[in-house]
Structure 1
Amino acid sequence: LIYAPSCSTVTRRRPIYLGGSHHRWSETSRTISTWHLHYQENRKRHIRSETSKPGLHKTAVIAIKKWKEEGHVVRKYELNRIVRELRKLKRYKHALEVCEWMTLQQDIKLLEGDYAVHLDLIAKIRGINSAEKFFEDLPSKMKGQPTCTALLHIYVQHKDFSKAESLMKRMSECGFLKCPLPFNHMMSLYISNGQFDRVLETLHELKKNTSPDIVTYNLWLTACNSQGDITSAEKIFLELKKTRLNPDWVTFSLLTSIYIKNSRFEDALLSVKEMEKQVFKKTRVAFSSLISLYTGLGRLEDVNRVWKKMKSSFRKLNDAEYNCMISSLIKLNELEEAEDIYTEWESVSVTGDSRLPNLILAAYINKNKIKMAEMFFEKRVAGKGIVPSYTTWELFTYGYIHEKQMDKVLECFKKAIGSVKKWEPDLKIIREVYRLLEEYGNVKGAEEVLVTLRNAGFVSTELYNLVLKVYFKAGKMPLIVGERMKKDGVLMNDETRQLIKVTSTMCVSEVPSYL
């Protein structure tokens, strides 16, 4: 619900078309497959340049330069349209190249809106520091509402509260808070951090300076949804209906979600039906939201109906849409049907996205069907060349913990940690692994996991305490624990000292060779 600043000052004529339904974007390719640019007022004149085929390194700028070298005039509004299309395709690097090329053309007069887009792209490609430097170097007359709002958006995206709030204060002093967009950015920031009191404060300031737009109301409802506050949500919706604004599909989606959370299923059904009236091809993401909401209402027939409508509306569905449908069917306890959709996904997708098979694996493992999960993995994950992710191995770790297959628990847990460059410690799975190790008094396994975790950059007092509990259950005395903790920079607590004390009278364990 955070919207990037748009170049509102640029003429919105549409004489050039970039891309098209027959040139869809492949999510697995990091390149633009084909460029098509043509004048609508004269379809015989066009630019056509294939870029970034495998082995090639052409860019959007090369296509534009070639067109200009052929004697054609490159107009600013056409370039702005190209930038917009590239941003839609998330080809930010190419879009930035076009913006930078525009700044070098003496015959192109850039406005604040153009620099706002440029600033946003720099942040996406080169980071926040480069964006700040670009903003600082702008002429004073270009540091107006559009570029300041773009910089604010960047701070919000990076959750830099201090800089965002400081910039809002400066924008207020300069009289730049005459539209709801900056306030919407700040509301989004506070919602993301659970600061709902600040959301209301920001909304109050917004109403003193300007009028809310539909995004404002949707953000307000988002805050209510996060808290399950149905009373406030209904008041907000009534206020919205008194304005000249029209509720959109997002509005009804949020209302439906709030009703479901509060078990008001009849109201939720009425709301989702209103939402569906506003779902068209141009609001593609709304289809997945519809499926999720009908799933929350337990309406399998409607889920299948919307899925069928999606398939008839779009030539090809993406991984996220298949993910939504498969997970919805699993939630509705329709695993066989979910597998059918997965089979369909296998036949049309080349991404090898492990998140899709992980859904099926999780369904089997949650039903304690570990053998089925193993067969599925061997045949349709490893057998199809899909690279298992951290989640894949984590699922199997939990599955084998339930089955008490200690060797496989240790194997999969190590593979999980080894599958990521930087492992973020997950205390839940660590505790579960050590709970099973303690149950069997598996000292060797406890030490192996400790070494694995240490190599992944994680040691703690609690971790050593978990190891000591395994020794206690095994009736063995651990050696050189104090020295090892000191070497790891870990302090003892009362529990550590107590565990060392009670195990000190037990039989001496062997010192593992890897210590």
Structure 2
Amino acid sequence: MWALRRLPKPLKDTRISIGASYDASAQLQTSRHFIEETATTLGSCQTISDKGLSLLRFYLSKHASSDFPIRSCGLSSQAGAESSGEEDDLEDGFSELETPANAETKGDHNFKDETEDGLDSDEELSGDVEETTSNELELFEAVTDVHDKKASSRRTTSELFKAIISTTGISIFKVLDKWVEEGKSISRDEVSAANFNLRKRRMYGRALQLFEWLEMKKQLDFVGRDYASRVDLIAKVQGLQKAEDYIQTIPKSFRGEVIYRTLLANCVISNNLKKAESVFNKMRDLEFPITTFACNQLLLLYKKHDKKKIADVLLLMEKEDIKPSPFTYRILIDAKGLCNDIAGMDQIVETMKAEGFEPDIITQSILAKHYASAGFTEKAEEVLKALEGDDIKQNRWGCKFLLPLYAELGKADEVERIWKVCESKPRFEEYLAAVEAWGKLGQVEKSEAVFDRLLETSKKLPAKHYTKMLKVYSDHKMLQKGKDLVKRMADSGCQIGPLTWDALVKLYVEAGEVEKADTILQKACQSKEAKPMYTSFMAVMEQYAKRGDVHNTEKMFHRMRQAGYVARLRQFQTLVEAYRNAKAPAYGIRERMVADNIFPNKSLAAQLAKVDVFRRTSVSDLLE
């Protein structure tokens, strides 16, 4: 293959660069070799081999120069960052799980589970639940083995698990000590079942304490998957640095690929691009085999932050003969759709089918969503009909996808039809899908009716159920109803967290009360359990920028840094916009960007040029 023959050296020696110089990166931005403008949509397919189409081909434009610099595999986390604006629209999808600002100062056992009853809480912080779930499932596969899975499938619960969740205190060590004193078993099956159930309920703090106690008391002979599970839990509860530190204490014989694969996945969950690339390089240095799972992790990050670098990962997979999985194809399909490259998206689907993979329900829903947003209504309806199958009652699992997708198309009759299938006995996810769907259609009363039914199903619902209704109120600028709903949440004893803060901040922003939104955000920042979402800060910051309020825009920029969010291109774009609207020069802004390893794309370069005209010169001083 021509792309591979052009490689100047074996790809195994290539590292993922995270320290590209400003000049080199700027050249990459303007180089004719990079696909820009229409090529930002990542080009169209070009048939090169009679034996089959390489997945890589779909990410090379047929108009691109034959010396497209993919051969250098310079996967710098700065060069070409955020090639288009769509990435930032997804910030609430899979990105707001960065290491808490206070993670390093927490005590080893100062954990707070999401909810006392183990339900998913407001702290899940994931809007794109299906993508997150898929990645978490792959990660769970990575840290378990057949023995664990069989034990978990045989036992949906365990006495050990019941004992662990029975305590209301912070530490479960006394419960475990008592368990042993009573002569009860600490078998691997018992531990596996307890771990499975704790993870299923996202009670990561207690799961971590279980493994800490097992290792400290030497109640279980740890093997590779046990250490990997603990790395995963430390990353989730205490942050990436603590997880990395723990890896150094693992016996070298068990410090294998699965350990670093687990850390890599958590870097992705934390949306930490630099750390992810660093861990990937470490795996190469240690000569671990590069797996489909590891490549998928990079693809997930690059899909959001730098789509141009997706081609580099595909080239690596091609060179190392790493076969794409269905999840790989799903990521690529979504990347194409986000760039509005519907033809390219269709070609990826055809390649997927040619490789023997049929799009699953999640992939079909992604296709339908992108068809709808691009105006391909007939194609979207075709996918939705295929998703329904011959009998939607038999394919009930598809309803939670169909409801919001039909609403996206403005098909109120179809939403009504699907909801009637669920109405007699809706599942939780169907309730939420219906609330969202009626909200999209502007029928707020129907959203409220569905939500009121949902409230009747349980005495205590997780906060994320409320935030779905809160978002509807926010979208329709119904401030008073939003306030009343938050009061109901508090009265019900609901745990208020980042998702609720985000919905509330946006509610006030949409109502034009930016200062109130800022106050809520400031109070949220004082929470010691979790930090506000990235999108919450940006919602307020962008409103200040529109006003030309440089002081408050800069304040939000600083508070994001204090909260632990690394600087991104979008923040600087918003900051420069504030200076432009204020007709004020942005002195030192370029130097600040270089210090944060942020390099301007075309859009930001144009913004910078506009604020440069406001600089004071000797001539302007004379004329005043």
TM-score bracket for this pair, using the shorter chain length = 0.5 to 0.7
Note the alpha carbon deviations across 1:392-438, whole angstroms, 9 max, x for none: 47645654x5xxxxxxx588567556654378373443367x69xxx
- Tell me if the contact between 1:396 and 1:412 (Cα under 8 Å) persists in the aligned partners: yes
Counterpart residue number, 1:199: 310
- Tell me if the contact between 2:198 and 2:206 (Cα under 8 Å) persists in the aligned partners: yes
Counterpart residue number, 2:437: 328
Counterpart residue number, 2:408: 296
Change (3 A) 1:380 1:127: closer
Distance in 2, Cα, partners of 1:285 & 1:4: 24
Distance in 2, Cα, partners of 1:171 & 1:209: 17
Q: Which amino acid aligns with 1:421?
A: C
- Tell me if the contact between 1:152 and 1:168 (Cα under 8 Å) persists in the aligned partners: yes
Unmatched 5+ stretches in structure 1: 21-35, 38-45, 402-408, 436-445, 470-491, 502-515
State the Cα distance separating 1:138 from its structure 2 match.
1.7
Distance in 2, Cα, partners of 1:279 & 1:250: 18
Q: Which amino acid aligns with 1:9?
A: D
Counterpart residue number, 1:421: 525
State the Cα distance separating 1:325 from its structure 2 match.
2.3
The reply to whether residue 430 of structure 1 matches residue 539 of structure 2 is no
Q: Which amino acid aligns with 1:257?
A: K
Counterpart residue number, 1:341: 450
Distance in 1, Cα, partners of 2:152 & 2:309: 44
Q: Which amino acid aligns with 2:445?
A: E
Q: Report 1:58-137 matches (<5 A).
A: 59=172, 66-104=178-216, 106=218, 108-137=220-249
Distance in 1, Cα, partners of 2:237 & 2:250: 19
Counterpart residue number, 1:172: 284
Distance in 1, Cα, partners of 2:177 & 2:456: 40
Classify the secondary structure of the residue corresponding to 2:323.
coil
Counterpart residue number, 2:349: 237
Distance in 2, Cα, partners of 1:80 & 1:189: 31
Note the alpha carbon deviations across 1:117-136, whole angstroms, 9 max, x for none: 11111111121121111111
Aligned pairs, how many? 422
Change (3 A) 1:55 1:169: closer
Counterpart residue number, 1:480: none
Distance in 2, Cα, partners of 1:453 & 1:197: 30
State the Cα distance separating 1:357 from its structure 2 match.
4.8
Q: Percent identity?
A: 21
Q: Report 1:167-316 matches (<5 A).
A: 167-193=279-305, 195-207=306-318, 208-277=320-389, 287-310=399-422
Q: Whose Rg is larger?
A: 1
The reply to whether residue 317 of structure 1 matches residue 428 of structure 2 is yes
Q: Which amino acid aligns with 1:430?
A: Y
Classify the secondary structure of the residue corresponding to 2:147.
coil
- Tell me if the contact between 2:482 and 2:507 (Cα under 8 Å) persists in the aligned partners: no
Higher relative contact order (CA 8 A, sep 6+): 2
State the Cα distance separating 1:277 from its structure 2 match.
4.9
State the Cα distance separating 1:294 from its structure 2 match.
1.8
Change (3 A) 1:272 1:424: same
RMSD: 4.5
Once structures 1 and 2 are overlaid, which stretch shifts more, 122-131 or 419-428?
419-428
State the Cα distance separating 1:278 from its structure 2 match.
12
Distance in 1, Cα, partners of 2:149 & 2:439: 46
Change (3 A) 1:431 1:170: closer
- Tell me if the contact between 2:403 and 2:419 (Cα under 8 Å) persists in the aligned partners: yes
State the Cα distance separating 1:48 from its structure 2 match.
7.6
Q: Which amino acid aligns with 1:171?
A: M
State the Cα distance separating 1:54 from its structure 2 match.
8.0
Note the alpha carbon deviations across 1:80-135, whole angstroms, 9 max, x for none: 23212211211111111222233246573332222111111111112112111111
Note the alpha carbon deviations across 1:162-194, whole angstroms, 9 max, x for none: 44334323433544235310111111111121x
- Tell me if the contact between 1:377 and 1:383 (Cα under 8 Å) persists in the aligned partners: no
Note the alpha carbon deviations across 1:453-490, whole angstroms, 9 max, x for none: 989978x9998999999xxxxxxxxxxxxxxxxxxxxx
- Tell me if the contact between 1:390 and 1:420 (Cα under 8 Å) persists in the aligned partners: no
Classify the secondary structure of the residue corresponding to 1:108.
coil
Change (3 A) 1:451 1:379: closer
- Tell me if the contact between 1:300 and 1:332 (Cα under 8 Å) persists in the aligned partners: yes
- Tell me if the contact between 2:160 and 2:191 (Cα under 8 Å) persists in the aligned partners: no
- Tell me if the contact between 1:191 and 1:223 (Cα under 8 Å) persists in the aligned partners: yes
Q: Report 1:392-411 matches (<5 A).
A: 392=504, 395=507, 398-399=510-511
State the Cα distance separating 1:215 from its structure 2 match.
1.0
Note the alpha carbon deviations across 1:58-81, whole angstroms, 9 max, x for none: 73x666555544444432133123
Distance in 1, Cα, partners of 2:162 & 2:190: 15
Q: Which amino acid aligns with 1:333?
A: G
Distance in 2, Cα, partners of 1:95 & 1:310: 35
State the Cα distance separating 1:231 from its structure 2 match.
1.5
State the Cα distance separating 1:235 from its structure 2 match.
1.4
Q: Which amino acid aligns with 1:149?
A: R
- Tell me if the contact between 1:83 and 1:95 (Cα under 8 Å) persists in the aligned partners: yes
Q: Which amino acid aligns with 2:544?
A: I
Classify the secondary structure of the residue corresponding to 1:83.
helix
- Tell me if the contact between 1:179 and 1:210 (Cα under 8 Å) persists in the aligned partners: yes
Once structures 1 and 2 are overlaid, which stretch shifts more, 137-146 or 212-221?
137-146
Distance in 2, Cα, partners of 1:452 & 1:165: 31
Q: Report 1:366-515 matches (<5 A).
A: 374=480, 376=481, 382=487, 391-392=503-504, 395=507, 398-399=510-511, 412=516, 416=520, 420-421=524-525, 424=537, 426-430=540-544
Q: Which amino acid aligns with 1:343?
A: D
The reply to whether residue 141 of structure 1 matches residue 253 of structure 2 is yes
Classify the secondary structure of the residue corresponding to 1:74.
coil
Distance in 2, Cα, partners of 1:237 & 1:93: 40
Classify the secondary structure of the residue corresponding to 1:340.
helix
Note the alpha carbon deviations across 1:244-275, whole angstroms, 9 max, x for none: 33432122122222222332222222222333
Classify the secondary structure of the residue corresponding to 1:298.
coil
Counterpart residue number, 2:530: none
- Tell me if the contact between 2:235 and 2:266 (Cα under 8 Å) persists in the aligned partners: yes
